[in-house]
Amino acid sequence: MNKNVSPERLQRKEQYYDEVIRLYYREGLRICEIRDKLSLKRGTIEVWLRKFAEEQAIMSQSMNTEDPQEANGLKSLQDENARLRKQLAKEKLRADSYNELINVAESRYRIKIRKKTGAKQ
């Protein structure tokens, strides 16, 4: 790390780096659009994008060379994640059903079932 660079400047540089990566890969902006938006030099943006691509390639390569036990662990985590997502969707549907049931009961029988927010008990 360069001793002449202040921590604030280094933090701003990292923020710009993250913003360039986000704009290019997530927003799909072209380099010239990023340059105009952030007032950065084209060469700086290209270097950062190249650095990011190299880092991603290294990460991808290291994930492909992992041992089978780690791959099995990753697979089981992915399976559990999928199961939990399905369970969450089911519980959201159940909560929506209860809310609709309460709405129908309140409108049909004209009684307040839900508590008012901030009301004292």
Over residues 44-91, the pLDDT tens digits come to: 999 999 998 888 887 777 666 556 777 778 888 999 999 999 999 999
**pLDDT band, very low/low/confident/very high, at 121 (cuts 50, 70, 90):** low
One domain, residues 88 and 77: yes
Would you say residue 58 lies in a domain?
Answer: yes
Would you say residue 16 lies in a domain?
Answer: yes
- pLDDT, tens digit (0-9, with 9 covering 90-100), for 93-110: 999 999 999 999 999 998
| AA letter at 71 | A
- Cα–Cα distance for residue pair 114/100, rounded to 1 Å: 12
One domain, residues 61 and 76: no
Domain residue limits at 98: 67-110
Q: What would the DSSP string read from start to end of 49-72?
A: HHHHHHHHHHHHHHHHT--HHHHH
One domain, residues 81 and 41: no
Q: Does pLDDT of 38 surpass 60? A: yes
- Cα–Cα distance for residue pair 96/87, rounded to 1 Å: 14
pLDDT value at position 63? 65
Q: Does pLDDT of 5 surpass 90? A: no
Would you say residue 121 lies in a domain?
Answer: no
Apex 8 CA angle, 58 and 31, nearest 5: 50
- Residue 100 has a CB neighbour count (10 Å cut-off) of 10
Whole-model pTM: value is 0.47
Q: How far is residue 104 from each of residues 22, 32, 94, 96, 116, measured CA to CA in Å? A: 45, 56, 15, 12, 18
The beta strand positions in the chain, using DSSP E, are none
Helices marked H in the chain — which ranges? 7-21, 31-38, 42-64, 68-109
Q: CATH number, domain at 39?
A: 1.10.10
Structural domains counted in the chain: 2
pLDDT value at position 1? 46
